[in-house]
Chain A
Amino acid sequence: MPIITVKNLTKYYKIHQKEPGLWESLKSLVARKYYDVKAVDDISFEIEEGELIGFIGPNGAGKTTTLKVLSGLLYPTSGQISVLGFEPWKRDHKYLKQMSLVMGQKNQLWWDLPAQESFILNKEIYEVPDDQYKKVLNELVELLDVKDVLNIQVRKLSLGQRMKCELIAALLHSPKVLFLDEPTIGLDVVMQKAMRDFIAEYNKKYKATIILTSHYMEDVKKLAKRVVIIDHGKIIFDGKLKEIIDKYAEHKILTLEFSEEFPKERLEKFGEIDSWEYPRAVIKVPRLEASKRAAELLETLPVADINIEEPPIEAIIRRVFSGGKKQEAKSKKQ
């Protein structure tokens, strides 16, 4: 039984057009012209308990909107959604007690008070029993290593410490479903890693179902086995990360180190040269031929070292997006 079911979700925003000029302004006082922005356009997916899913897509793709609908903040224009058996937008308190939404840049901690105070407040709001509260709080504080900052005013904490406390506040009630919107945005590299490690650990330990949106590939690479790619409000891909690579990565990348110089043309017949600077060179070869060509290279050229890699996910995803656009263009022409 999937824990999250989304069928044909569509969400429009109504934006009113603002024309410049005095006459237009006066007109708009009487009759406003609205146009619809399709933030999410007929998407469907299912998620099982305990999955950790990455939603990726460029800015404005609809990932955040999807999360907001799933957490009950936004009212879907059409479609059926069920999370833990509830319709999110009804905002049944029973549902809200089992889920948590963390938005990267938003704070829920009270700025002028120590984080501890906000924790206690959340404990009461979510009606967490005393002993459970103590247990969970201690575990989280251990995991995130923030024991010493709990009694300092939040405004005095560093960004990293604050983010950690925000996470604790969001997890005190041990939510079954966790929505993370751009959790690593604005953080430095060290903090990003800490954040990812924590999310992975939390998913493993508490078996919470986690949906994570991001436009950083690192987040997805490190965390999500299953990936949903959204662009222009539509799902372009939903499946294992490995599948994307297999499906969309046409090449493999060979990085070579040579022991002696030779004319460039000799390398060209093996594949497309990406870079050529003695003693190193990088070439792209078709996936299926990768091993064969590598073997040939080793025989015929003075190779000192060879490395075979997948192309970076970013490049693959970019291909997926531009592939999507090509599809749109094709269907528009028709």
Chain B
Amino acid sequence: MKHWLYLLVGIFSPTLAASELPLNMTQGVTEISNQVYDLHMTILLICCVIGLIVFGLMFYSMLNHRKSKGAVPAQFHESTKVEIIWTLIPFLILVGMAVPATSTLIAMEDTSDADITVMVTGSQWKWHYKYFNEEIEFFSILSTPRDQIDNKAPKDANYLLEVDKPLVLPINKKVRFLVTSEDVIHSWWVPAFAVKKDANPGFINEAWTKIDKPGTYRGQCAELCGKDHGFMPIVVEAMPEAEFDAWIAGQKQAATEAAAQAEASLSQTLTMDELMAQGEQVYMARCAACHQPNGAGLPGVFPGLLKSPIIQGPVGDHLDIVINGKPGTAMQAFAKQLTAQEIAAVVTYERNAWGNDTGDVVQAADVSNFEK
């Protein structure tokens, strides 16, 4: 018997030693996530105990009640008493599980008296955050370079779990999320907060959290939302209140500066090369997911841009579809997502890249005039 034990320890010790391997649910950094973790561990334990008893009896029977050992079958095949016992005992165990589950659930659904409200909007395939009481809003997009996904460059530690602009939240404050979507159903999930809420187009859902520790917390979209469902991560930066206030102030200033810069860009005239360089950047970040890095699109799903009617046609139509989107398709309106400068650059790029050769140069002022 003893050498079996050694063998078991031998088999499992490497796994136990490799504790950095993620094998269990995260405990998270909120009171709720800790409660959920405890609930998970309790139920897991109960299941393991029941499993050990049931499987233990089965194995005992398999080892000792074999025909080869001369077992003679018993005749019993019915007992109402036993049936009632094994209906009642599981029922009582279940009641025991339901009690803590109910209290945790009630706490999770209580979104009242929040200190901060953030609107979270999913769209194919990015998240948008808007602070309800401040004039701050931004998109948060996967920042892992294409080369890493295509195995052309070594992958970073936070491969696929990094974004250009994380959501910033203060610690020790009750933060309420209003979750919704622009197109299909997404689901906003940060395991460390035990928050997972579907983003349903046309409807809002509420969730809340109160973070205990400063840090960077990562999550992913949890509802299949199309081609790049696996590529729309969530990153939350949690910081002490003073730092958070400073960040808010910094964001407001940056917004003012950006507005001034956008205004200034209207009077600038960039060269073709400058526009192409900037346009390529914008294209890869915003357009390549659907229209593909080489502009070929995916036949039957996303139209290609190589010598397409829009590319060959007047600049105005091209600007229209980029600025206002195309209803009933996945093509979004980029008027509010990109600056006039960026739209000018990306339209110039599309009209002159991958063998497109219209020679058209679009400036920020053209975009601004078109929008009027």
Do A and B associate with each other?
A: no
- Report which A residues bind B (CB closer than 8 A): none
